[in-house]
């Protein structure tokens, strides 16, 4: 770790990479190589996983994608597919080919979700086990992309699904919030946190095992202040990695003196 600027300022400690808690997962929706280099130079220490969002990278040059995955990997960051891409592979009955390719192009991690499709719990567990055997870290997602469908999932259902995934070998279970963070999962239409739901999910699944997608600053600040500075957070925008880390360390007004 290189020397930081303004080191005379004491800041809150954090578990260091590779870590099992306090993970930050970034959403890459087609970041160019130069922007990725900038991100690595400034923020790689604060990023645990980068997700190639939904189907975006299906549209990008293989050579460019391979080169970017390599850059992230060289900076000790896990790289994962977007859940939607897995789901399309599933619909097209090509998951073996899909995981094989994921391995070959350099992904170290996979996301298994059913946001837009249906998979039985048994099959889901089997897929998780298969991916673990292939050497992937496995992140699973609970929740539906469609707000109406998502609203029908009970908290109990979500907890059972999560536990089943963890039993099968998943590293963490992600609570869906999409890129927007509004009207889905633990957020209402304005993006405000449903406090009771967060409490119950965390109690049922375990803080360490859960990752909340939290694209908005108010969501990040709430979860840090009410759960822990080391809550696992996902769908962070590249430009918000350092701002998020300042929240975790008490370097921003929202959490300064409150951690």
Which positions ≥6 away from 58 have C-beta within 8 Å?
85
Kindly identify the residues of this chain, within the stretch 199-218, that bind a second copy according to CB under 8 A: 217
* Contact between 86 and 128 (Cβ < 8 Å): no
Kindly identify the residues of this chain, within the stretch 149-178, that bind a second copy according to CB under 8 A: 178
At residue 52, what are phi and psi to the nearest 5 degrees? -80, 95
Shortest distance (Å) from residue 119 CB to a second copy = 15
Residue nearer to a second copy on the CB measure, 18 or 147: 147
* Contact between 194 and 151 (Cβ < 8 Å): no
Q: Which of 20, 74, 122, 146 binds a second copy (CB under 8 A)?
A: 146
Residue nearer to a second copy on the CB measure, 21 or 88: 88
Kindly identify the residues of this chain, within the stretch 43-102, that bind a second copy according to CB under 8 A: 43, 46, 53-66, 84-85, 87-89, 91-92, 94, 97-98, 101
Residue nearer to a second copy on the CB measure, 43 or 78: 43
At residue 209, what are phi and psi to the nearest 5 degrees? -90, -10
Half-sphere exposure of 29 (CA within 13 A, CB side): 9
Kindly identify the residues of this chain, within the stretch 2-31, that bind a second copy according to CB under 8 A: 2-11, 29-31
Stretch that binds a second copy, among 32-40, 125-133, 134-142, 157-165 (CB under 8 A): 32-40
Shortest distance (Å) from residue 42 CB to a second copy = 5
Q: Read out DSSP for 163-197?
A: HHHHHHT-SEEEE--TTT--SBTTB-TTS-B-HHH
Q: Whole-angstrom Cα distance, residue 112 to residue 72?
A: 21
Shortest distance (Å) from residue 32 CB to a second copy = 2
Shortest distance (Å) from residue 15 CB to a second copy = 15
Q: Which of 26, 39, 186, 201 binds a second copy (CB under 8 A)?
A: 39
Stretch that binds a second copy, among 71-79, 162-170, 188-196, 236-244 (CB under 8 A): 236-244
Count CB-CB contacts under 10 A for residue 23: 23
Distance between alpha carbon 28 and the CA centroid of its chain, in Å? 11
């Amino acid at each position: 770790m290189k020397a930081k600027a303004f080191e005379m300022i004491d800041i809150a400690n954090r578990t260091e990479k590779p870590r099992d808690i306090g993970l930050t997962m970034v959403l890459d929706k087609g970041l160019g190589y130069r922007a990725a280099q900038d991100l690595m130079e400034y923020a790689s220490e604060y990023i645990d996983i980068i997700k190639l969002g939904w189907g975006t990278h299906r549209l990008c040059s293989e050579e460019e994608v391979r080169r970017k995955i390599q850059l992230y990997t060289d900076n000790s960051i896990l790289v994962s597919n977007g859940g939607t891409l897995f789901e399309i592979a599933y619909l097209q009955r090509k998951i073996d080919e899909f995981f094989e390719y994921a391995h070959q192009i350099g992904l170290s991690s996979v996301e298994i979700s059913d946001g837009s499709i249906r998979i039985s719990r048994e099959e889901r567990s089997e897929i998780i086990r298969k991916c673990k055997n292939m050497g992937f870290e496995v992140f699973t997602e609970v929740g539906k992309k469609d707000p109406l469908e998502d609203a029908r999932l009970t908290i109990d259902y979500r907890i059972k699904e999560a536990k089943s995934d963890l039993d099968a070998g998943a590293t963490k279970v992600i609570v869906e919030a999409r890129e927007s963070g509004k009207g889905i999962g633990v957020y209402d239409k304005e993006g405000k946190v449903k406090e009771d739901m967060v409490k119950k999910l965390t109690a049922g699944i375990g803080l360490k095992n859960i990752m909340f997608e939290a694209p908005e600053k108010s969501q990040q600040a709430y979860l840090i202040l009410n759960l822990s500075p080391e809550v696992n957070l996902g769908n962070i925008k590249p430009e918000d990695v350092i701002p998020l880390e300042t929240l975790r360390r008490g370097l921003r007004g929202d959490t300064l003196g409150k951690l």
